[in-house]
Amino acid sequence: MHLNADFSKRIVINSNGMPWEDSPMKGVQRRKLDRIGDEVARATSLVKYDAGSHFSAHTHGGGEEFFVIDGIFSDEHGDYPAGTYVRNPVGSSHTPRSDDGCVIFVKLHQFEEADQKQFSVDTKNSAFSPGSIPGLSVLPLHSYGTESCALVKWEPGTVFNPHRHFGGEEILVLEGVFSDELGDYPAGTWIRSPHMSQHHPFSKEGCLIYVKTGHLSAE
């Protein structure tokens, strides 16, 4: 499968209107955002676990990064409530489940092979730092090479400077409404902007976004 596989194109998807597709495991469904491959794939998805569901034990041949949007995701390593960011590097393995149900944003097979740090961040209990302009606050999550990942809070009325995305930019709107000169993006919207694209972002009502930059230049 090739879905939104041209990384030179800007993609905007409001996932709220997408149907949930069944996975091979009962009670686990997906909204596919981009994908290169079949069941084992370079993929970006939203994944929903019904209460009491689980997925088969598996090894991450290309690494796994996920953010828990709702509920509690669990595996043999621990329980990860909403707001938890997790990185499982190449070669790691687990048997995921959710006792009460959850929704996660997950990226597979997108790690640099030498990026081997395995960790989780409870963002609900982590301190944000002031951003580069008034009205922004930032919680760094991970960086390696040119890649950088963070949560960014926008106070209502915040306007950022026009800028280019060296290595591309990927955004998932978690709360509120994020905007730029091209449109308004409510919670649940996923945006992938290519290498050297440009925009002028702002938020009228405030928002919280997951942002990854610098990871698309080689695609």
Kindly report, residue by residue over 193-216, the tens digit of the pLDDT. Answer: 999 999 999 999 999 999 999 999
Residue of 189, 219, 218, 217 lying closest to 203 (CA atoms): 189
- The tens digit of pLDDT for each residue in 120-163 reads 999 999 999 999 999 999 999 999 999 999 999 999 999 999 99
pLDDT(218) > 70: no
H helical segments located in the chain: none
pLDDT digits (tens, 9 = 90+) for 29-38: 999 999 998 8
- Identify the pLDDT of residue 40: 76
Q: What is residue 163's predicted lDDT score, i.e. its pLDDT?
A: 94
C-alpha separations of 164 from 111, 132, 158, 167, 194 in Å: 23, 16, 18, 9, 10
Q: What is the pLDDT of residue 219?
A: 46
**Exposure of 202 in the CB half-sphere (CA atoms within 13 A):** 11
Query: Phi/psi of residue 115, each to 5°?
Result: -85, 90
pLDDT of residue 181: 97
The number of beta carbons lying within 10 Å of the beta carbon of residue 114 is 9
User: DSSP code of 16?
Assistant: G
Calpha distance 125→116 (Å, rounded): 24
Ordered structural domains, the chain, with CATH: 19-122 (2.60.120.10), 127-213 (2.60.120.10)
Report residue 56's pLDDT band, with 50, 70 and 90 as the boundaries.
confident
Percentage of the chain with pLDDT > 90? 88
Question: How many other β-carbons are positioned within 10 Å of the β-carbon of residue 82?
Answer: 17
Say whether pLDDT at 113 is over 90.
no
Residue 211 to residue 189: CA distance in whole angstroms: 12
Mean pLDDT of 101-127: 94
